[in-house]
Amino acid sequence: MEDEAQPLALVVGGGSGIGAALADALRAQGTTTVTWDIAGTHDVTCDVTEPDEIDEAVGVTRMRWGVPTSVTVTVGVGHAGMLVDAAPEDFDRIMRVNARGPWLCMRAWVGAMRDQAIAGSFVAVSSVSARLVDRNMGLYCASKAALSMLVEVAAAEWGPLGLRVNAVAPGVTRTAMLGPSASVEGSPWLAGVADRTALGRLGEADDIAQAIIALHSMEWVTGQVVECDGGLSLRSPIDSYGEMQRMRAGPGDKKG
């Protein structure tokens, strides 16, 4: 039974990483929270690259819980490699998950929110890589830049319906995307990232969850991409390829 009176949060990608941290935080504050994912612990199985599965997940969610008042899309995949080496299939896969998937998931709820006069809030997880150049992550950067622009256009398009659309843009965050044992002790690159970050450490999934919850609560904010990186982008771009080249060349060679 759909219940407009109670807040309902949907977290797409809530089975792990930032999405799981967000779902835990929302539930801890008493918010009924539904998670979609294809891995980890989740309430509804949904592959965001498949429009039919999104439609089915919407139907299941409406039948069991109702129409959400907030939707957060945290799904995403990484990719490393130079543009000259990437396969066309890599481009399609990264864009399908990181840009098309979030667009389809958010769009799927617009009609229901409009029909029930819900002043809904959407937040997508973009990245500081949407605006910072990394020569070893070109496809990932492009996909997140596409997502950030989709958020801005959606905010303008859906604002008259009373719907807000924003994004958070994390910096380097300790999630499965960095590997199972990512630590500054085991990675010179990660140690360098922590050193360049104004707050002196890597981001954690809980840090990003806090920013998402805050953004959902800001009723006069829409169309914004809020960077949540501990100040990493204040000092220098994330350039893993350049860092690796400089370390390999040694202190006497400034190329890269």
DSSP-derived letter for residue 81 is B
Question: Helix, strand, or coil here: 180?
Answer: coil
Give CA–CA dist 32/49, Å, rounded.
26
Alpha-carbon distances, residue 112 vs 105, 159, 219 (angstroms) = 13, 15, 20
Give CA–CA dist 192/207, Å, rounded.
20
Would residue 140 show up in a list of annotated catalytic residues for this protein? Answer: yes
Which contiguous run of DSSP H or E holds residue 62? helix 51-64
Decide if 72 contacts 9 (C-beta within 8 A).
Answer: yes
Q: Which of 140, 196, 207, 232 is catalytic?
A: 140
Give CA–CA dist 146/124, Å, rounded.
12
Tell which residue, 71, 90, 65, 69, has the closest CA to residue 79. 90
DSSP string, 115-153: HTT---EEEEE--GGGTS--TTBHHHHHHHHHHHHHHHH
DSSP string, 65-82: T---SEEEE-------B-
Tell which residue, 79, 75, 104, 106, has the closest CA to residue 92. 79
Q: Which residues are catalytic?
A: 140
